[in-house]
Amino acid sequence: MRSHKVIEVRSLTPSTYIIKMEKNDFLFKTGQYITLGFSGNIDRREYSIYSSEQDDFLEVLIKEVDEGLVSKKLKRCKPGDHLDVDGPFGHFSLQENEIDKKKFLFIATGTGISPIHSFIATHPNMDYRLLHGVRIEEEAYERESYRNENYILCTSRESTGDFHGRVTDYLKQNPVSSDTVCYLCGNCHMIYEAYDILEKQGVSLGPIHTEVYF
């Protein structure tokens, strides 16, 4: 367990925010997650790392949950506070030998975009397309981080995104070539449905990687 000082808390929506901490000597592989909580408090939650491997700080993207103990407390933290970080954990990672050679499709719902943000920030020149499924356009968290032509915002409750409907609807209408490496992160219903669609489109099991958020 390490203690990291908070540098900044920035709000993206009324319920979603990013905590930026000192990195210290913390090393991780993009796509991994940490457990986070206040120093001296036993309550911890898992959060994917949002920042890139080369950043000199550590960031996580958090959505405040109505019944969530930790997400509500963390939202109130201030610069100078110390948080306990444990990890990194997880194997939702890019294959080094594929990064410069393959085409990638990233599919995320809500804050499931966090590890994807880390992938792209760490490897900005990779050949990727990103489908981000949210309810309303306001939830397109820091979309300016991505190349415009590579980012498709799918909004299910309003028609202000690039596509009106769920990411799975977009996928059905825009088939993926079978040599695409796919990373899916978000709620389990999206992942199960997207997985089935991709398999039917000829993307084989090996190139589909998943991380269930909720």
Q: Could you give the domains of the chain?
A: 2-89 (2.40.30.10), 103-212 (3.40.50.80)
Which two structure tokens, joined as six digits, stand for 72? Answer: 């509500």
Instruction: Report how far apart, in Å, the C-alpha atoms of 148 and of each of 37, 128, 145, 152 are.
Output: 35, 11, 9, 8
Which two structure tokens, joined as six digits, stand for 185? Answer: 């992160």
User: Which amino acid appears at position 88 of this protein?
Assistant: P
**9 with 19: CB under 8 angstroms?**
yes
Could you tell me which residues are beta bridge partners of residue 134? 155
**Helix ranges, the chain (H):** 69-75, 114-122, 167-173, 188-200
Q: What is the pLDDT along the chain (214 residues), one digit of tens a residue?
A: 899 999 999 999 999 999 999 999 999 999 999 999 998 888 899 999 999 999 999 999 999 988 778 999 999 999 999 999 999 999 999 999 999 999 999 999 999 999 999 999 999 999 999 999 999 999 999 999 999 999 999 999 999 899 999 999 999 999 999 899 999 999 999 999 999 999 999 987 566 788 776 5
Statement: the pTM of the whole predicted model exceeds 0.85? yes
User: Which amino acid appears at position 148 of this protein?
Assistant: N
6/8 Cα distance (integer angstroms): 6
Largest CA distance in the chain: 51
